[in-house]
Chains A and B, each alone.
Chain A
Amino acid sequence: MSGRLFSLPIALVFAAMVVPVHAATIEITMENLVISPAEISARVGDTITWINKDVFAHTATAKNGDFDVTLPPKKSATSVLKKAGTVEYYCRYHPNMKATLKVEP
């Protein structure tokens, strides 16, 4: 009986450890007022490196509020994906800059 009670927490610990092992780093670039790739898939636990190659400040702002990253000119930043779902994001300063990030569980 007691063995079965232990197995659930142990399984959870293993599940939590599995994610970082497969975690990848994905680069998303903003250059000449264009976000590329315009659409990309990632998984929960992956890191996004946002690279701003422009002389303008940009933001990567999720429409659903999941993230809001500010990128000064010629700077980069990272964020770790915590939630699954398809996120549409844009630049608050230049709303014509739009892209989609698909986060798989």
Chain B
Amino acid sequence: MFTRRSAAIAAAILLSSPALLQSASAADKPTDPQIAHIAYTAGVIDINAAKQAQKKAKSKDVKAFAEDMLRDHEAVNKQALALVKKLNVTPEDNDTSKALSKQASDKLAELDKLSGAAFDKAYVANEVAYHKQVNGALETQLIPSANNAELKSLLQTGLKIFQGHQQHAEHVVAELK
């Protein structure tokens, strides 16, 4: 039982990005309050990135993409807040959340120095990478570790919507070329 599970996790880690490898192997199986914190943090990060893009983006497609990110991630996070309240769970800060936040604030600062088409390209390229990373974490770590059925189901909906965002971002990247 244990070895089979470990093998599955190892295989999943091999398939995912290097950034995830670090966070997935560093953390033991996260608890529900930690998972809720990670998922919420991941949403806030993309909301902040979208707000920056709304101010700086030049292309119509990029602006529309940022608007979609804002709308969907705010909806997921609103749902997440309602759920933790209902379950009487206090989201708990943890190393994965901290690593995500640090990475995101570095990225915001980096993108802030760019403008026009250079900003558009860098923002959307990062959106592809970021959604890939979050989707990998959801699939291999957060969803399998979630205990509460409602939390698991919210994460699954999140995964579905973020996979759509990733495709959308990939599409915008191709359009900008």
Q: Which residues of A contact B (CB under 8 A)?
A: 32-33, 55-57, 73, 93-96
Q: Contact at B78–A95, with CB atoms within 8 Å?
A: no
Q: Contact at B164–A56, with CB atoms within 8 Å?
A: no
A96 CB contacts on chain B under 8 angstroms:
164, 167
B68 CB contacts on chain A under 8 angstroms:
93
What are 20 of the A-B contact pairs (CB < 8 Å)?
A32-B160, A33-B160, A33-B161, A33-B164, A55-B76, A55-B78, A56-B71, A56-B72, A56-B75, A56-B161, A57-B71, A57-B75, A73-B75, A93-B68, A93-B72, A94-B161, A94-B164, A95-B164, A96-B164, A96-B167
Chain B: interface residue count, which band?
A: 10 to 19
> Interface SS of chain A: helix, strand, loop or mixed?
loop
CA distance A85 to B150 in the complex (A): 41
Q: Which residue of B lies closest to A57 (CB)?
A: B71
CA distance A94 to B76 in the complex (A): 14
Contact with A along B71-84 (1 / 0, CB 8 A): 11001101100000
CA distance A44 to B134 in the complex (A): 45
B72 CB contacts on chain A under 8 angstroms:
56, 93
Q: Contact at B71–A93, with CB atoms within 8 Å?
A: yes
Q: Which residue of B lies closest to A93 (CB)?
A: B68
Residues 97 to 117 of chain B near chain A (Cβ within 8 Å): none
Q: B90: CB under 8 A from chain A? A: no
Asked, given contacts A55-B78, A95-B168, A96-B164, whether A32 binds B71 with beta carbons under 8 Å apart, the answer is no
State how many angstroms separate the Cβ of A92 from the closest Cβ of chain B: 9
